[in-house]
Amino acid sequence: MKSALVLLIRVVEATNTWVGKAASWLYPVLMLVIVVNVILRYGFSLGSIMLEELQWHLYSVGFLLCLAYAYVDDAHVRVDVLYLQLSERKQMWIDFFGCVFLLIPFTAFLTWDAWPYFLDSLAFNERSPVPSGLPARYFIKLVLFIGLLLLLLQGIVTALKKLLQLAGYERV
């Protein structure tokens, strides 16, 4: 049983790490799109709705797909004022209860809600309301679902990992 849980933990964390590292390459592309948009707008007085929307699409995809990766690396935002002063065991309990009572229910609710949000957009073949905007608005809604699902899975395996560590399994 323990080896199956450890395998699950490793697979989910490896997947989230790979997805996060791959998605982080969207940020140099985003910077390039911003620079091109600024040059076109202020240098040539040419505004582009498509470039504006592409900016927020790239930012959103990068952010959503890197959420779980930040959790794998323990790089997420938290208030460490008290946490850092606690023993390692107490920190594991806080991480476990935080996952079980906050992260997992919250992301489960959002993930559950994001799927029909995507399906409605796909069925409607939603696109930008602006004629010169980007098509396939449903894509960003699919990425919302995927990002939340990855974060939910990471929350589950983090809770399992902390539970195994609390039970005395050092190498998880």
* E strand or H helix that includes residue 32: helix 26-38
In tens, the pLDDT along 112-147 reads 999 999 999 999 999 998 888 899 899 999 999 999
What is the pLDDT averaged over residues 35-61?
Answer: 94
Answer yes or no: is pLDDT of 1 > 70. Answer: no
Does 35 map to a domain? yes
Distance in angstroms (rounded) separating the CA atoms of residues 109 and 3: 29
Q: Which of 99, 90, 72, 76 is nearest to 159 (CA)?
A: 99
Distance in angstroms (rounded) separating the CA atoms of residues 51 and 42: 14
Does 138 map to a domain? yes
What is the pLDDT averaged over residues 103-107?
Answer: 97
SS3 62: helix
Does 171 map to a domain? no
Looking at residue 168, its pLDDT comes to: 86
Does 172 map to a domain? no
List the structure tokens of 15.
Answer: 């997947």
**What residue numbers bound the domain in which 72 lies?**
2-166
Does 158 map to a domain? yes
What is the pLDDT averaged over residues 150-160?
Answer: 97
SS3 127: coil
Q: Domains in the chain: how many in total?
A: 1
In tens, the pLDDT along 67-83 reads 999 999 888 777 777 88
**Average pLDDT of every residue of the chain:** 93
